[in-house]
C-alpha cells in the first residue's frame, strides 16, 4: 500500500508541484503536459504478463529503456520540449522509486 501510494503520488503530485514552482504563469498547461507523460506506460501492453508487481519497468519496457531516458534528458535541454521532458523524467523517477521498493 505504501509503495503504491508513493509511486502514484510521484506520478500525479510531483508534476503539479513542479509546474507550480517553475511554470507559474502557465502552471495548468504545464501540469497537463507533464501528467500526460503517463502515456509511456502504453509500452506495458507489449509485455507478458502486462502487469507484474515484481517487475522493474526501468530498462524492461522500450519507453523505459536507458536509451529512451537519454532522449528524455535531451528533451529537457530544448526549451520547446522542456516540459514534456520533465514529465517523462518524473515518470521515470516514480518508476525508479517503485523499483527500489520491490
Tell me the domain boundaries of the chain.
Answer: 2-100
Q: What is the pLDDT of residue 1?
A: 83
In this prediction, residues 24-39 reach a mean pLDDT of: 98
pTM of the model: 0.95
- Tell me the pLDDT tens digit for each residue of 52-87: 989 999 999 999 999 999 999 999 999 999 999 999
Residues ≥6 apart with Cβ < 8 Å to 43: 61, 62, 63, 64
- Reduce the secondary structure of 39-63 to three states and give it as a string: HHHHHHHHCCCCCCCCCCCCCCCHH
Amino acid at each position: 500500500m505504501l509503495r503504491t501510494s508513493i509511486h502514484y503520488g510521484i506520478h500525479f503530485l510531483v508534476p503539479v508541484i513542479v509546474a507550480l514552482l517553475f511554470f507559474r504563469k502557465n502552471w495548468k498547461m504545464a501540469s497537463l503536459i507533464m501528467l500526460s507523460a503517463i502515456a509511456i506506460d502504453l509500452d506495458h501492453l507489449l509485455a507478458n504478463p502486462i502487469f507484474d508487481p515484481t517487475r522493474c519497468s526501468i530498462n524492461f519496457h522500450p519507453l523505459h529503456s536507458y536509451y529512451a531516458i537519454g532522449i528524455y534528458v535531451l528533451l529537457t535541454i530544448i526549451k520547446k520540449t522542456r516540459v514534456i521532458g520533465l514529465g517523462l523524467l518524473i515518470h521515470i523517477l516514480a518508476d525508479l522509486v517503485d523499483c527500489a521498493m520491490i
